[in-house]
Structures are given as C-alpha cells and as structure tokens.
Amino acid sequence: MCKFIKLRLQSFSYAFQGWKHALRNEPNTWIHATITTLVILVALWLHLPPRDWAVLALAIGIVWSAEFFNTAIENTVDLACPEEHPLAKTSKDVSAAGVLITALTSALVGILILGPPLLGKLTAVLN
C-alpha cells in the first residue's frame, strides 16, 4: 500500500511539473490565469450560489485542460515532425481551434452566470 501511495504522489508531482512548464513556456496560459483570477474575484464579490460556482469551475477546468492538451499535441508534433509539413500544421491548427472553442464557450458561460448579478450589483453601486 505504501508503494501505491508513493507512486500516486509521484504522479501528482509530474502533473504539477507539467503545469509549471506550461506557465513558464506558453504565453496563452497567462491569459487563462488572468481571466481565471478575474472570474473568481468577481464571483466572490457577487456571492454566487454553489451551483453557479460549480458551472464556473467546470468551464475554467475545461479551458485549462484544452490548453494543456493543445500544448502536448504541439510538442508531440514538433518532436515527430521538426520540419514544416502540411499535416503537422493542420494538427496544430485543429488543436488550437479546440482551445478557442472551449474559451469562447466558457466566456459565454461566464457572461450568462456573472452578467445578470454583476449588472444588478453595478447598478446598485452606481445609484
């Protein structure tokens, strides 16, 4: 059992190393980090109910996952095909499109969840 736990902890270590690598080497992760932070701060300010938090957490997690999968795909393609190739480009472009779709969908989710209470709170503050 001790070996099992040690291996699981090692797996978490590898995952955090990957996260750290992405933050250090992928500029788009900082965009995601900034937007994630802003969404969390606004949601805290609005005192959202748990169900809204759950939906926002899913949306945020999906975008981060898509970005990490995109990074993994791009790195794998670069390793397998260091020279320019139309299929390599297509693979990278389609992977990036997946991130774009998740980001746009998550933005819509954020607007639908945060928009009405934010508008109400801002209206109250300004009046």
Helix spans in 1-127 (H)? 2-25, 27-46, 50-80, 86-126
Please indicate, yes or no, if residue 36 is contained in any of the structural domains. yes
Write down the pLDDT at residue 3. Answer: 87
Please indicate, yes or no, if residue 39 is contained in any of the structural domains. yes
DSSP state letter for 47? T
Chain centroid, CA 45 distance in Å: 21
Please indicate, yes or no, if residue 12 is contained in any of the structural domains. no
Q: Which of 62, 64, 63, 40 is nearest to 52 (CA)?
A: 40
Q: Rounded CA gap, 48 and 39, in Å?
A: 11
Write down the pLDDT at residue 125. Answer: 87
Q: Rounded CA gap, 101 and 49, in Å?
A: 26
* Segments forming the whole domain that contains residue 61: 29-126
Total-model pTM: 0.89
Please indicate, yes or no, if residue 102 is contained in any of the structural domains. yes
89: domain CATH number is 1.10.287.3610
- Looking at the structure of the chain, the number of domains it has is 1
Write down the pLDDT at residue 66. Answer: 97
Please indicate, yes or no, if residue 48 is contained in any of the structural domains. yes
Radius of gyration of the CA atoms of the chain, in A: 19
Whether 67 and 28 have beta carbons less than 8 Å apart is answered as yes
Q: Tens digit of pLDDT per residue, the chain (127 long)?
A: 788 888 988 999 999 999 999 999 999 999 999 999 999 999 999 999 999 999 999 999 999 999 999 999 999 999 999 999 999 999 999 999 999 999 999 999 999 999 999 999 989 888 8
Please indicate, yes or no, if residue 85 is contained in any of the structural domains. yes
Please indicate, yes or no, if residue 100 is contained in any of the structural domains. yes
Whether 37 and 81 have beta carbons less than 8 Å apart is answered as no
Please indicate, yes or no, if residue 17 is contained in any of the structural domains. no
